[in-house]
């Protein structure tokens, strides 16, 4: 989930206003809108949870501001004058909300279109006919939080433009609720869109001098407005971002290592329980990689800090973009000695960490409720569990006092036992999260871990 981007991002065309202004007008273009990080969802009578809404350019036109959308000159409606073009005006957009060009989903029959940048250089007069021939769906996104959109008025306007039919509704939704229902295509486009719009929306001011920042490169760069050719910089110190190589702000990707330790026998796995997790939930350990660290060093440090465990043989498994807001989860296995004591008191991030056998993990994976991570369901399960505990305590109290149940009460208790959903002894993440994949792949022996001597490295051959 969230990985395997299906789009050709055409990054070499992000600096071309001829390309961006052309393709944004394409009737095939589709948009994902956000409001403070919440995506626009389309709900229909038969799908009340909703799905990601993909709108056309005419449908989102009220949010886009004045044309030109890219290559904006100093005054609204003007373009960058000849002679003032520079690195700081490449597809400049300083009026209106930042727009992100996500990429092109090319038709599978024709494969990759080459689209060399020379087709869209200022000397080319035929950008329009090149765009008309592009085979595929261009994707854009933007966050409209700063436009203070009224949801009711928005739906009225969408109804008028034919974006929604009777009984359908567009509204801002909880992005995490989508996890279980989103297709892998939607998930991958959504992950890119969410991280990019979030970054554009939150970074409004230059970190060097506090001036406003503006958007370049179809939403992929931000620069300080003191660097615009028409900026009035009299009576002020030059912005430090104008010096040397640090001229732009680029989108962030924050690397997180996430890992499972497998013990020397290969038959046990170490999982931890954060204090933020719902009841009975155990997962892989994780932490941000710090400056000056390799992946391997970060895995070793985090395992020691969180569980007091020394590990060896750190091996990469796979990665997952996690757009909350811009993480890249890097999944690893490592080996550790399960005979040594586990301790969670060093950095106190976990409330518990323990070794589970393959049999225990397989048992939980085989249960319907074992990998449910729908928060509404979890709350319901927790409520049932609390109620069950309360009832059990009440029964014990009554028994101690010599209370004898009536036939009716006995019948009720029997009925409750029969109807009870089988509760797992603990829960692990579903495979929509990389932690769930790491746990499953070990449990089902998709990745082999032969027994090793404690501390003895077997290199990467064990993957």
Q: Does 307 bind Zn ion (CB under 5 A)?
A: no
**How crowded is residue 162: how many other Cβ atoms within 10 Å of its Cβ?**
10
Q: Which stretch binds Zn ion (CB under 5 A): 211-219, 248-256, 337-345, 439-447?
A: 211-219
CB of 237 to Zn ion, least distance (A): 10
Among 209, 231, 328, 454, the residue binding Zn ion under the rule CB under 5 A is 209
333: nearest Cα among 446, 188, 453: 446
Q: Judged by CB under 5 A, does residue 222 bind Zn ion?
A: no
Distance between alpha carbon 334 and the CA centroid of its chain, in Å?
Answer: 25
- CB under 5 A: which stretch of 189-197, 224-232, 259-267, 381-389 binds Zn ion? 224-232
223 touches Zn ion (CB under 5 A): no
d(CA 57, CA 219): 17
Q: Is 59 in the site for Zn ion (CB under 5 A)?
A: no
DSSP character string of 412-437: HHHHHHHH-----SSB---TTSHHHH
Smallest distance, Zn ion to C-beta of residue 239, A: 3
The answer for residues whose C-beta is within 8 angstroms of residue 313's C-beta and 6 or more apart is: 333, 334, 335, 452, 457, 458, 459, 462
Round to whole Å and give the CA distance between 124 and 18.
Answer: 9
C-beta separation of 219 from 101 below 8 A: yes
CB of 215 to Zn ion, least distance (A): 15
**Identity of the residue, 92 or 303, whose beta carbon is nearer to Zn ion in the bound complex:** 92
**Nearest-approach distance from CB 206 to Zn ion, in angstroms:** 3
3-state secondary structure of 140: strand
Residues touching Zn ion, count (CB under 5 A): 7
224 lies in the site for Zn ion, by CB under 5 A: yes
Return the H-helix or E-strand segment holding 214: strand 213-216
Asked if 231 is part of the footprint of Zn ion (rule: CB under 5 A), the reply reads: no
Query: Which C-beta is closer to Zn ion: that of 131 or that of 228?
Result: 228
Span of 47-55, 105-113, 218-226, 259-267 interacting with Zn ion by CB under 5 A: 218-226
| Residue closer to Zn ion (CB basis): 200 or 211 | 211
211 lies in the binding site for Zn ion (CB under 5 A): yes
| SS3 state of residue 65 | coil
| 206 near Zn ion, judged by CB under 5 A | yes
**286 beta partners:** 258
Start-to-end Cα distance in the chain = 22
- State whether residue 48 is helix, strand or coil: strand
CB-nearer residue toward Zn ion: 58 or 240: 240
Tell which positions 233-262 bind Zn ion, by CB under 5 A: 239, 241
207 sits near Zn ion (criterion: CB under 5 A): no
Contacts with Zn ion, residue ranges (CB under 5 A): 206, 208-209, 211, 224, 239, 241
């Amino acid at each position: 989930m969230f990985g395997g981007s299906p789009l050709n991002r055409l990054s070499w065309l992000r600096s071309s206003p001829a390309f961006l202004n052309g393709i944004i007008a394409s009737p095939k273009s589709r948009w994902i809108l956000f409001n403070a990080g919440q995506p626009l969802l389309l709900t229909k009578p038969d799908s009340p949870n909703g799905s990601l809404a993909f709108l056309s350019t005419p449908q989102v036109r009220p949010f886009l501001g004045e044309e030109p959308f890219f290559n904006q000159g100093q005054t609204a409606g003007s373009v960058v004058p000849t002679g003032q073009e520079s690195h700081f005006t490449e597809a400049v957009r300083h009026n209106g909300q930042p727009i992100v060009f996500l990429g092109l989903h090319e038709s599978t029959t024709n494969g990759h279109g080459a689209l060399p940048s020379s087709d869209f250089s200022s000397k080319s007069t035929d950008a329009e006919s090149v765009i008309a021939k592009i085979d595929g769906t261009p994707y854009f996104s933007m966050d409209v939080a700063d436009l203070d959109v009224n949801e009711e008025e928005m739906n009225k306007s969408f109804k008028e433009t034919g974006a929604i039919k009777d009984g359908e509704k567009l509204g801002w939704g909880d992005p995490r609720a989508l996890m279980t229902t989103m297709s892998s295509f939607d998930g991958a486009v959504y992950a890119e869109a969410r991280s990019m719009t979030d970054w554009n929306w939150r970074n409004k001011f230059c970190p060097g001098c506090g001036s406003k920042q503006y958007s370049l490169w179809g939403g992929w760069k931000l620069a300080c407005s003191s660097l615009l050719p028409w900026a009035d910089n009299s009576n002020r110190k030059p912005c430090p971002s104008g010096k040397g190589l640090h001229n732009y702000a680029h989108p962030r990707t924050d690397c997180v290592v996430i890992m499972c330790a497998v013990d020397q026998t290969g038959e046990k796995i170490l999982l931890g329980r954060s204090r933020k997790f719902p009841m009975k939930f155990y997962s892989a350990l994780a932490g941000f990689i710090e400056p000056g660290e390799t992946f391997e060093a970060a895995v070793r440090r985090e395992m020691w800090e969180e569980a007091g465990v020394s590990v060896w043989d750190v091996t990469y498994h796979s990665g997952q973009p996690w757009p909350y807001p811009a993480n890249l989860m890097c999944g690893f296995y490592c080996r550790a000695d399960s005979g040594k004591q586990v301790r969670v008191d060093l950095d106190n991030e976990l409330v518990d960490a323990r070794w589970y056998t393959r049999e225990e993990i397989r048992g939980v994976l085989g249960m319907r409720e074992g990998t449910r991570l729908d928060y509404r369901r979890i709350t319901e399960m927790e409520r049932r569990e609390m109620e069950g505990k309360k009832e059990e305590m009440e029964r014990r109290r009554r028994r101690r006092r010599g209370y004898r149940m009536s036939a009716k009460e006995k019948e009720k208790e029997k009925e409750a036992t029969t109807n009870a959903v089988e509760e797992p002894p603990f829960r692990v993440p579903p495979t929509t999260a990389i932690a769930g994949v790491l746990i499953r792949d070990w449990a089902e022996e998709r990745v082999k871990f032969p027994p090793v001597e404690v501390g003895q490295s077997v290199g990467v051959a064990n993957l």
